[in-house]
């Protein structure tokens, strides 16, 4: 689309998008500039002194069972309200409702070109507004599942909620730290995305674009799912539970630690002010496994899962470093928010980007 052919409204959207991209570039430059002052950063954002939570396989199974139960219940309720004939009559290509639209590796994908494997050959078929709404309800129930699992862990192990990454005393600091780390990671994610697209020959297209073009009134629901619910629940599952469980296996007495975690008396204290007897060096393998599963969970978004594996590994190491779920959630929220904002702005000035 030529610039001279833009309407005033389209020109406004294009200008705002340009400003957003400029702000992102400025944030990246500022983040890497701050990185040069490493000693003061280490003092301001100290490393955690070791894992505190006691996570077992029983906790991971419980959260999966609860999420599965809620998703099935919502789908059964949806089918009872909407007949399959009416559902089949509505057509918009989109991943299934239990795939929350979250990560897009590049906030400005060039979706004006044909994309391989994005039309009738999509394995998930057609998705309709009722499925998207059901997906929003289902993902909201994931918050309830998370709360139930947290309560069960606290009751079973007597661990404080802070041991699961929820440190209320330093929320502002953790949020600031998360924003800074995200802008450090953005160049890596953009570079990996570009390399994967060049190697595969498949231009990545965010599936939310189709939904936003056909049903713009669903933007608020998609934003709720992608920017609020998904970062909270995914970070809790992939970081707090999975990494916490694998660290329990690493530090605990097997095989007992595999099922129920390590003994509370054997945990390394994370209380502020206590000095460990030796520097805490978290093992790499929990972050690698968690990051790999995190990327594979986004297979429905084409080749984007490859950079997201590295994104997941980085989030895992950040969690191990700080033992702060707030920092990881902040990174995830801002990342998804930037992607969704740029997709929405692009639809405003270039309607052809929706396919």
Digit-coded pLDDT (tens) for 195-221: 887 887 665 555 566 666 677 778 888
Q: Which two tokens stand for residue 100?
A: 């929350």
Q: How far apart are CA 268 and CA 175, in angstroms?
A: 25
Residues whose CB is less than 8 angstroms from the CB of residue 72 and which lie 6 or more positions away in sequence, other chains included: none
24: in domain: yes
Per DSSP, the three-state class of 100 is coil
Tell me how many domains the chain contains. Answer: 1
Q: Is the pLDDT at 106 greater than 70, yes or no?
A: no
pLDDT in the model for residue 269: 43
pLDDT in the model for residue 118: 39
User: What's the rounded mean pLDDT across residues 23-38?
Assistant: 83
337: in domain: yes
Q: Is the pLDDT at 124 greater than 80, yes or no?
A: no
- Higher per-residue confidence, 298 vs 329: 329
User: What's the rounded mean pLDDT across residues 177-190?
Assistant: 92
- Higher per-residue confidence, 120 vs 150: 150
Distance of CA 220 to the CA centre of its chain: 18
Compute the Cα dihedral for 272, 275, 277, 282 and give only its sign: positive
Q: How far apart are CA 96 and CA 42, in angstroms?
A: 43
Q: Is the pLDDT at 284 greater than 80, yes or no?
A: yes
313: in domain: yes
Spatial CA neighbour of 335 closest among 181, 203, 201, 217 = 181
Residues whose CB is less than 8 angstroms from the CB of residue 220 and which lie 6 or more positions away in sequence, other chains included: none
1: in domain: no
pLDDT in the model for residue 355: 44
195: in domain: yes
Q: Is the pLDDT at 272 greater than 60, yes or no?
A: no
User: What's the rounded mean pLDDT across residues 226-242?
Assistant: 94
Can you state the angle between helices 325-349 and 305-322, rounded to 10 degrees?
150
Cis peptide before 237 (omega within 30 of 0): no
pLDDT in the model for residue 277: 45
Per DSSP, the three-state class of 93 is strand
Q: Is the pLDDT at 19 greater than 60, yes or no?
A: yes
114 burial via Cβ count (<10 Å: 0-12, 13-18, 19+): exposed
Spatial CA neighbour of 343 closest among 243, 204, 235 = 204
Can you state the angle between helices 305-322 and 171-200, rounded to 10 degrees?
160
Q: What percent of the chain has pLDDT over 90?
A: 26
Q: How far apart are CA 60 and CA 152, in angstroms?
A: 11
Q: Are 233 and 27 in contact (CB under 8 A)?
A: no
User: What's the rounded mean pLDDT across residues 248-276?
Assistant: 61
120: in domain: yes
Could you give the dihedral angle defined by the CA atoms of residues 291, 44, 180 and 227, in that order, rounded to the nearest 10 degrees? 60
**What band does 121 get if pLDDT is binned at 50, 70 and 90?**
very low
Q: How far apart are CA 354 and CA 94, in angstroms?
A: 12
Range of the domain at 330: 6-354
Q: Is the pLDDT at 239 greater than 90, yes or no?
A: yes
Q: Is the pLDDT at 114 greater than 50, yes or no?
A: no
Q: Is the pLDDT at 4 greater than 60, yes or no?
A: yes
Q: How far apart are CA 33 and CA 61, in angstroms?
A: 43
**What band does 233 get if pLDDT is binned at 50, 70 and 90?**
very high
Q: Report angle CA 217, 223, 225 to the nearest 5 degrees.
A: 115
pLDDT in the model for residue 311: 95
pLDDT tens for each residue of 286-328: 999 999 999 999 887 777 888 899 999 999 999 998 889 999 9
- The secondary structure element, H or E, covering residue 29 is helix 8-35
pLDDT in the model for residue 263: 59
pLDDT in the model for residue 261: 72
Q: Is the pLDDT at 87 greater than 50, yes or no?
A: no
- Higher per-residue confidence, 339 vs 239: 239
- Higher per-residue confidence, 88 vs 231: 231
Q: How far apart are CA 278 and CA 268, in angstroms?
A: 11
Q: Is the pLDDT at 132 greater than 90, yes or no?
A: no
Q: Which two tokens stand for residue 275?
A: 């000095």
**What band does 5 get if pLDDT is binned at 50, 70 and 90?**
low
């Amino acid at each position: 689309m030529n610039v001279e052919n833009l309407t005033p409204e389209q020109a406004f959207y294009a200008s705002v998008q340009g400003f957003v991209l400029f702000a992102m570039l400025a944030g990246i430059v500022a983040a890497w500039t701050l990185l040069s002052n490493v000693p003061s950063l280490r003092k301001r954002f100290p490393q955690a002194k070791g894992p505190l939570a006691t996570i077992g396989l029983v906790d991971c199974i419980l959260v999966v069972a609860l999420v599965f139960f809620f998703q099935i219940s919502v789908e059964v309720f949806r089918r009872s309200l909407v007949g399959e004939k009416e559902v089949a009559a509505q057509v918009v290509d989109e991943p299934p409702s239990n795939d929350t639209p979250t990560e897009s590796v590049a906030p400005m994908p060039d979706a004006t070109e044909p994309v391989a494997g994005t039309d009738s050959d999509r394995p998930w078929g057609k998705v309709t507004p009722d499925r998207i709404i059901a997906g929003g309800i289902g993902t909201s129930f994931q918050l309830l599942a998370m709360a139930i699992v947290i309560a069960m862990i606290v009751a079973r192990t007597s661990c404080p909620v802070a041991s699961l990454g929820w440190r209320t005393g330093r929320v502002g600091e953790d949020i600031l730290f998360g924003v800074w780390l995200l802008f450090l990671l953005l160049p890596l994610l953009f570079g990996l995305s570009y390399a994967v697209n060049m190697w595969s020959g498949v231009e990545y297209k965010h599936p939310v674009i189709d939904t936003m073009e056909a049903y713009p009134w669903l933007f608020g629901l998609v934003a709720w799912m992608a920017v609020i619910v998904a970062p909270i629940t995914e970070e809790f599952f992939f970081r707090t539970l999975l990494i916490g469980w694998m660290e329990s296996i690493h530090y605990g007495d097997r095989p007992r630690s595999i099922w129920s975690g390590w003994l509370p008396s054997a945990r390394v204290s994370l209380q502020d002010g206590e000095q460990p007897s030796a520097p805490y060096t978290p093992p790499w393998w929990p972050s690698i496994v968690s990051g790999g599963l995190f990327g594979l969970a986004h297979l429905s978004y084409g080749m984007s899962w490859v950079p997201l594996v590295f994104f997941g590994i980085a989030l895992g190491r950040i969690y191990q470093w700080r033992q702060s779920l707030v920092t990881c959630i902040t990174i995830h929220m801002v990342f998804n928010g930037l992607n969704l904002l740029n997709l929405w702005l692009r639809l405003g000035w270039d309607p052809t980007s929706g396919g």
